[in-house]
Amino acid sequence: MSSGTEATTADRKSLAGILRRLPLEVAGMVIIVVVAALLPAVVPEYQALQWTQWILYGLLALSLTFIWGHAGIFSFGQVAFFGIGGYTYGITAINLINRTGETFSAVLAAVVVAALAAAILGYFMFYGKVGDVYVAIITLATTLVLFTFMESTAGPKYAIGEALLGGYNGMTGIPTLSYGWPGSPATPLSVTQTLAIVVGVAGIIAFGLHILLRRPFGRIVAGLRENEDRTQLLGYDIRRHRLIVFIIGGSIAGLAGAGYAAWGMFINPAVFSLQQAALVVIFVLVGGRTSLLGAFVGAILLQSLSTSLGGSDSVFTPIILGGVLIAVVMLLPQGIVPTVSAIAQRLVPQLRPRPPQLPVPTSPPEQLPLPTKSDRVSPQSGPLEAIDLRKSFGGLTAVDGVSLTFAPKGVHCLIGPNGAGKSTFFNLLVGRYRPTSGQVIFSGEDITGREPYQRVRQGFGIKLQVASLYTNLTAFENMWLASYAKIGNTKAATQRAIEILSWLDLIPQANHFAGTLAHGQRQWLEIGMVLATEPVVILLDEPTAGMTREETLRTVDLVTLLGKHASVVVVEHDIEFVRQLNVPVTVLHQGRIFAQGGIDELRRDEQVLEIYLGRGGDNVEA
Amino acid sequence: MQADDLINLALSLLTNISVLVIISIGLAVIFGMMGIINLAHGEFLMLGAFATLTAVRAGLNIWIAMILAALAVGVFGLIVERLLIRHLYGRLIDSMLATWGLSLILIQGVVLIFGPSTQGIRTPLGDVRIGDYSISQYSLALIVAALVLLAIVFWVFTRTPYGIMARASTQLPSMASAVGINTSRTNMITFAFGSALAGAGGALLAPMAGVVPNMGQAYVARAFMTVVVGGPGVLTGTSAASAFLGSLERVVSSLWAPFFGQAALLVAAIVLLRFMPTGLSGRWGRQL
Amino acid sequence: MSMSEELNERRKLSRREFLELGAAGTGLLLLAGCGGGQGGGGQGEIVVGSVLDQTGPLNIYGEPMQDSTKLAVADINNKGGVLGSKLKLVSYDAQSANEKYTEFANRLALQDQAVVIMGGITSASREAIRPVIDRTNTLYFYNEQYEGGVCDKNVFCTGVVPSQQLDALIPWAIKNIGPKLYVLAADYNYGHISAEWVKRYAEKSGGEVIGTDFIPLEVADFRSVIDDLQGAQPDVVVSLLVGGNHIPFYRQFASAGLGESMKIVSPTFGLGNEQVVLAPSESQNITVAYPYFQELDNPTNKEFVDRWHKTYGEDYEYITDSAATVWNGWHLWAEAVEKAGSTDKDKVTEALESEITFDGPSGLVKLDGGSHHLIQNVHIAETNENKGFDVIDSQQSVPPSYEQEVCDLIANPNEKTQFTP
């Protein structure tokens, strides 16, 4: 941290200081544009050609770093969009250049078509809830289909306008980047000018992503990467976020592809091969999956390595390259940039990230911070009803006709022996399962078909049995994501997050990673996150699992307090906890309602005891 | 359609399916049971083919050569596991990077030893006439070989102590080590076993394919598709996926052109995975 | 890194970010200024360039071509070089990647200052090189068999083209084997174009193509093809199959015993040393047509083969036609330079267009000035028991008739295209 006013004043007067005081976005762009403009003066032509290709590959790798390292989508298909962009540029440029006198419209076309392709593929995958590995395989298969298809488009009949697709040989005669006016002949950019533009554009895109990742969108995407379930249960539509990320990634790859076609004045189906697809992944891994800069480092390093090896009369090139890859995995598993960064931070204290300064309230609020001052649409509040819910899994009927009404305010407990169907019923309320028959009504509206995130938006707060937090984010960041989902304003969300943390007595842990918190603290943190979504219905699945006596007692207070403001449904095993709560209880058994009433009378009920202890009867099983 | 047309088509389908089984079963063991993406799988096939070549040139009977080749590749896999793979468990993506590097090294290594083109081995067994068609007996032998490989896998995983431990380690690794299973040793054997199966696959292909150092590249993508479409069940998944994709490819190839057959295989994989993301055996709840 | 950093609302560049950006930018500028590469020629040396695939899947073709390149340049230097100066060969390995062709051709032209670039194996690689040599105005030789039709002032193609090979082979096949042809072609440009040529030459000679199958380059399974052949029962199977994955066809063909009823002729078999990979019993009775065979019986070839074996060993697998084509290319260029008295591109081009000849291992070759292609002998040969070929027929000085027909670069020097039938 800067130490004292003298240093700051001197700093202020220097160029660096001035630059640093400009808004982030402007300062960054200025630096990039200046560097790009200087390049043609410094770089000799033959080298410029090489560098252009390397930076374009870096841009392609960047698209993967963004969607994978930051959003957790592992796509093997970035080269598909790269190639689509390249071919689109070729087709458009060949056909239009004589009419418009320029090729930048072709670049635009390439980006649009690539984005469209990404939208279609993304919709197909994400709205179909395809999981991680399968996204990889589907994107790979798509790439290979394009490869197979484009290879066979040889022959004069495979032409779009004046552009021959060219099959295996590829599309030739693609004009390089050119500018001009309709009616006049196009002026092609020189090699060094092309380099300048490519560097400038790549830099601006990289920087733009850097900024985006610090905005709320980027943080939601980070949450999505860290814990998909939790993000969904905070009310974010993860499918939409994934799709948007994928489209951005596809567009960037398409842009890089257009640049590549303009650079080589030629493109062929080899861009769709398995080797190329793997190469992008390798660039990203070598550079560092989480680092935007790493994408360029990885691409440039490996491409320059193979180029210089190609210049030696060596038959060992692939062996050396293979050895380098293995060495990177063994020695630098994080990739080059993160490893170097970590070392630098250790050696140079000024480079370490500062712990954030959070606006801590002077004294913790006494009352529960509910409801909020948010200006979003206030949620409906009406009773939650389950009407004759039934759920079968194949031959097993887990829930067999349960009808319950939960009052708009107050706590309601669900208990029952193992296998009673409590969890299944809970998941039906949450929306993770669809009932085989029956309905879930909320505030008079049939929400049976709604996804969990939609229910959360309507006012549900959900805490599942297994603590589901963003373990690699701090407690504060966890809470912020929860608050932002409801509030939609960065500052207000921050404030809210602080309030709730303070109320939970978790302020000392605010900057600790959630994974390092004690078990009980994690449960509370999660309950707090549920609160942040301003629920009118709160569903808790075994909130005291694994808690100590102390912690359980505090949870009783917490839940009671929640019950004053919302409809709380608690599924529990801990009978002592239920007793302390002193609220209406429903006993489930074999998927049906077995008994209802206060806990004390139920505990004395012979039949209830039987189903729990298995005394006589035919209901002993796990 | 005449009887011989039908028989020819049926045998042809079965052969295609068998080839898919042969090239995929090794990968299914490694990917399905260990979660390692072995991008050098094609090269393990290739090594099996070259090992067979070498053994045959040394004068051995071809079938013995194949068995030896499989064992040799198994031993090679053991070494690779100890040196490299061992550090990569749980690191799915890192295993990709490392095995890709390995594949580059293996291909060029073989080029340096054998040269870019080297004499192959001829297809053993002759041909047999069925009606108007003469069918290579070797392609029938492949059908038998595929069944034998599946049987071996079945026997190993259900009848040997190693096999049972291996399946336990896959399903619940922490539990497995908690009950005293040496997961490290089990993994090592599993990788060696998968490698040996891949080597056997390459050995079986050697008399039919062009044995060149990058022959593996043509098989890797299809093997992966088969394994992923198959799902977690090593036997049921691989068999089902091979049957489905193999027949589809063959039928489409005959009706239109081999190009469409290839494309059909890929498109089918995409569609299947979209609607059955856990693969065929995952959907049926099969574990083996 | 930590996302909560920015919640400070200090939307200014943090010191770290500033340093990162600054370092990246400076590093970029610094590295950009750095040189690299093999450098130009020494005193009195003439720099010549070559780009080929020595590694990667195309090395089957590339290795013999690279070996021939080195031998050819050494040969020229042994005879005194050109214009009294020795040649310095700068060669790059494109590792079977097209963009490396662009990179290396560019480097040869601009940094190494090569006066001529020879290279490229697949047509794709040639098309990657062409824009570069057009832009840098460098002379370029493409020394490899291909589908024909290229017409570009800066490009000279010494490889045999379909109009030469097939014009010799197809009539021979129809006359000596039978009139019903079935074509198997690799499913890409070369295959499609050549298949078209087969049809034309077949019709000209009174034959007929009764079926055509296109097989993608990655496909190694030919069962459906074997079935088709068994169904169609042609006299001649014309194989335009290419690459390692297509070798199994010959094996599966032999294994199905089809050789009894039909014979294979091919303008591609042997280019990738298929006859080395297959056992002799599997490659029996395949007839091919090339300008060059290692077995050719003429003094020039004897010397060539001797020199080759001395340099690369007696057990060298087989000297392919591509190797001889490369040899021709270098020597033709050297002759043209001597004739022009300079290495200046325009002067050398003029000399090349003035019907340069060279007595090579395949016989006398002559550069056809208008089309920039080679008039050369085409020999028809059959596979033998020694992983080689026995020449059974020869046609002298076969012109590249199609290229001559469509392309005249002396009259139209600005033509820059590839013609297809």
- Window 143-202 of B: residues touching C by CB (8 A cutoff) are none
**Which chain C residues are within 8 Å of A266, Cβ to Cβ?**
98, 102, 127-128, 130-131
B140, with CB counted inside 10 A (0-12, 13-18, 19+), is middle
Tell me what the mean pLDDT of segment B65-74 comes to: 95
| Angle, alpha carbons C59-C61-C67 (nearest 5°) | 85
A167 phi-psi bin (left φ>0, alpha ψ -120 to 50, beta other): left
B276: distance to nearest CA of chain A, Å?
A: 9
Alpha helices in A533-598 (DSSP H): 549-565, 575-581
Both C170 and C248 in a single domain?
Answer: yes
Contact C4, A480 (CB under 8 A): yes
Contact C90, C48 (CB under 8 A): yes
Q: Which two tokens stand for residue B201?
A: 């696959």
Q: Which of A510, A517, A489, A483 is nearest to A223 (CA)?
A: A483
Contact A248, A218 (CB under 8 A): no
Contact B114, B50 (CB under 8 A): yes
Q: Count other C-beta atoms under 10 Å from residue A123's C-beta.
A: 14
The residues of chain A scoring below 70 in pLDDT are 1-26, 313, 351, 353-356, 359-381, 613-622
Q: Which residues contact A101 (CB under 8 A, 6 or more apart)?
A: A178, A179, A180, A181, A182, A183, A184, A185, A186
C236: distance to nearest CA of chain A, Å?
A: 25
**Residue C260 sits in a domain of what CATH number?**
3.40.50.2300
Distance CA A454, CA A431 (A): 9
Q: What's the helix, strand, coil split of chain A in %, to 5?
A: 60, 10, 30
Domain that holds residue A427: 384-613
**Which residue among C60, C230, C276 places its CB closest to the CB of B119?**
C276
Q: Which of A519, A520, A523, A497 is nearest to A510 (CA)?
A: A497
Omega into B232 within 30° of 0, i.e. cis? no
Distance CA A189, CA A201 (A): 15
Q: Cβ contact (<8 Å) for A316 and B108?
A: yes
Q: What is the pLDDT of residue A7?
A: 45
Contact C386, C293 (CB under 8 A): no
Whole-model pTM over 0.95: no
Residue with tokens 């009706």, as numbered in its chain: B255
Distance CA B49, CA C320 (A): 25
Q: Which two tokens stand for residue A169?
A: 């040989």
Question: Tens digits of per-residue pLDDT, C295-339?
Answer: 999 999 999 999 999 999 988 888 999 999 999 999 999 999 999
Distance CA C71, CA A426 (A): 79
Q: Which of B195, B222, B228, B194 is nearest to B106 (CA)?
A: B195
Q: Cβ contact (<8 Å) for A152 and C188?
A: yes
Report the mean per-residue pLDDT for chain C: 86
Residue A539: φ, ψ to 5°: -110, 120
Instruction: Work out whether strand C87-93 and strand C363-368 pair parallel, antiparallel, or are unpaired.
Output: unpaired
* Res. C22: pLDDT tops 90: no
Count A/C contacts: CB-CB distance under 8 Å.
Answer: 200
Q: Which two tokens stand for residue A33?
A: 């544009």
Residue A604 lies inside a defined structural domain of this protein: yes
Place C357 in a pLDDT band, splitting at 50, 70 and 90: very high
- Window 300-319 of A: residues touching C by CB (8 A cutoff) are 306-311, 313-315, 317-318
**Which chain C residues are within 8 Å of A31, Cβ to Cβ?**
21-22, 25
Can you tell me whether residue C382 is helix, strand or coil?
strand
Q: Which residues contact C321 (CB under 8 A, 6 or more apart)?
A: C145, C160, C270, C271, C290, C291, C292, C293, C362
Domains in chain C: how many in total? 2
Can you tell me whether residue A51 is helix, strand or coil?
helix
Is B276 at the interface with chain A, CB within 8 A?
no
- Report the Cα A517 to chain-centroid distance in Å: 23
A1, with CB counted inside 10 A (0-12, 13-18, 19+), is exposed
Is B254 at the interface with chain C, CB within 8 A?
yes
Long-range contacts of B244-250 (CB under 8 A, 24+ apart): B244/B268, B244/B272, B244/B280, B245/B20, B245/B269, B246/B13, B246/B16, B246/B17, B246/B18, B246/B19, B246/B20, B247/B13, B247/B16, B247/B17, B249/B16, B250/B12, B250/B13, B250/B16, B250/C223, B250/C224
**Which chain C residues are within 8 Å of A473, Cβ to Cβ?**
3
Q: Which of C118, C116, C106 is nearest to C138 (CA)?
A: C116
* Res. C29: pLDDT tops 60: no
Contact A533, A485 (CB under 8 A): yes
- Window 40-69 of A: residues touching C by CB (8 A cutoff) are 42-47, 49-51, 53
Among A249, A273, A297, the domain-final residue is A273
Distance CA B280, CA B228 (A): 9
ipTM for the whole complex: 0.86
Burial pattern C376-403, b for ≥16 Cβ within 10 A else e, equals bbbbbbbbeeebbbeeeeebeebbbebb
User: Among A83-97, B205-219, C95-109, C262-276, which is the least confidently predicted range?
Assistant: B205-219
Q: Which of A78, A192, A62 is nearest to A143 (CA)?
A: A78
Q: Which residues contact B113 (CB under 8 A, 6 or more apart)?
A: none
Q: What is the pLDDT of residue B67?
A: 94
* Res. B34: pLDDT tops 70: yes
Is B214 at the interface with chain C, CB within 8 A?
yes
- What letter would DSSP give residue A390? E
C286: distance to nearest CA of chain A, Å?
A: 27
**Which residue among B15, B123, B127 places its CB closest to the CB of C251?**
B123
Distance CA A249, CA C193 (A): 38
Both C283 and C172 in a single domain?
Answer: yes
| Angle, alpha carbons B148-B154-B160 (nearest 5°) | 120
Q: Count other C-beta atoms under 10 Å from residue C92's C-beta.
A: 28
Q: What is the pLDDT of residue A2?
A: 39
Distance CA C246, CA C220 (A): 6
B94: distance to nearest CA of chain A, Å?
A: 6
Q: Cβ contact (<8 Å) for C247 and B250?
A: no
Instruction: Tell me which of C227 and A70 has the higher pLDDT.
Output: A70
Q: Cβ contact (<8 Å) for C32 and A39?
A: yes
Residue C264 lies inside a defined structural domain of this protein: yes
Distance CA A176, CA A172 (A): 11
B287: distance to nearest CA of chain C, Å?
A: 32
Other chains touching C, judged by 3 or more CB pairs under 8 Å: A, B
Instruction: Work out whether strand C87-93 and strand C46-52 pair parallel, antiparallel, or are unpaired.
Output: parallel
Domain boundaries defined on chain B: 3-214
Question: Tens digits of per-residue pLDDT, B186-243?
Answer: 889 999 999 999 999 999 988 877 788 888 888 888 898 899 888 888 888 899 999 9
Contact C238, C266 (CB under 8 A): yes
Q: Which two tokens stand for residue C155?
A: 């490009």
Is A21 at the interface with chain C, CB within 8 A?
yes
Distance CA A470, CA A228 (A): 9
Q: Count other C-beta atoms under 10 Å from residue A433's C-beta.
A: 18
Q: Which of C255, C268, C276, C317 to mutate to test the interface with B (most CBs of B within 10 A)?
A: C255
Q: Count other C-beta atoms under 10 Å from residue A185's C-beta.
A: 11
Distance CA A609, CA A587 (A): 11
Among A273, A296, A316, the domain-final residue is A273
**Which residue among C37, C95, C111 places its CB closest to the CB of A306?**
C95
Distance CA A90, CA A103 (A): 9
Residue C172 lies inside a defined structural domain of this protein: yes
B269: distance to nearest CA of chain C, Å?
A: 18
- Window 139-178 of A: residues touching C by CB (8 A cutoff) are 148, 151-152, 154-156, 166-170, 172-173
A332: distance to nearest CA of chain B, Å?
A: 11
Residue A79 lies inside a defined structural domain of this protein: yes
Instruction: Tell me which of A621 and C72 has the higher pLDDT.
Output: C72
Among C290, C316, C345, the domain-final residue is C290
Q: Which of A301, A264, A269, A263 is nearest to A282 (CA)?
A: A301
Can you tell me whether residue C177 is helix, strand or coil?
coil
Residue C33 lies inside a defined structural domain of this protein: no
Contact C249, C195 (CB under 8 A): no
**Residue A410 sits in a domain of what CATH number?**
3.40.50.300
Question: Tens digits of per-residue pLDDT, B114-143?
Answer: 887 777 777 777 777 777 677 778 888 999
Q: Cβ contact (<8 Å) for A329 and B101?
A: yes
**Which residue among C216, C223, C387 places its CB closest to the CB of B15?**
C223
Both C104 and C186 in a single domain?
Answer: no
Residue C403 amino acid letter:
E
Is B121 at the interface with chain C, CB within 8 A?
yes
A230: distance to nearest CA of chain B, Å?
A: 21
Nearest CA in chain C to A268: C124
Q: Cβ contact (<8 Å) for C55 and B138?
A: no
Domains in chain A: how many in total? 2
Domain that holds residue C361: 46-160+295-376+399-414
- Report the Cα A456 to chain-centroid distance in Å: 18
Distance CA A95, CA C22 (A): 41
Residue A618 lies inside a defined structural domain of this protein: no
Residue A507 lies inside a defined structural domain of this protein: yes
> Quick one: angle between helices A191-214 and A216-226, nearest 10?
80
Q: Cβ contact (<8 Å) for B218 and C220?
A: yes
| Angle, alpha carbons C36-A196-A69 (nearest 5°) | 85
**Which chain A residues are within 8 Å of C217, Cβ to Cβ?**
151, 168
Residue C20 lies inside a defined structural domain of this protein: no
* Res. B63: pLDDT tops 80: yes
Distance CA C36, CA C112 (A): 10
Q: Which two tokens stand for residue A426?
A: 């809970």
Place C33 in a pLDDT band, splitting at 50, 70 and 90: very low
Element (H, E) at A398: strand A396-406
Chain C residues contacting B via beta carbons under 8 Å = 55-57, 59-60, 63, 187, 213-216, 218-221, 223-225, 227, 230-231, 244-248, 251-252, 254-258, 272-274, 276-279, 281-282, 317, 387
**Which chain B residues are within 8 Å of C218, Cβ to Cβ?**
218, 262
Residue A36 lies inside a defined structural domain of this protein: no
**Which residue among C16, C19, C100 places its CB closest to the CB of A307?**
C100
Q: What is the pLDDT of residue C143?
A: 95
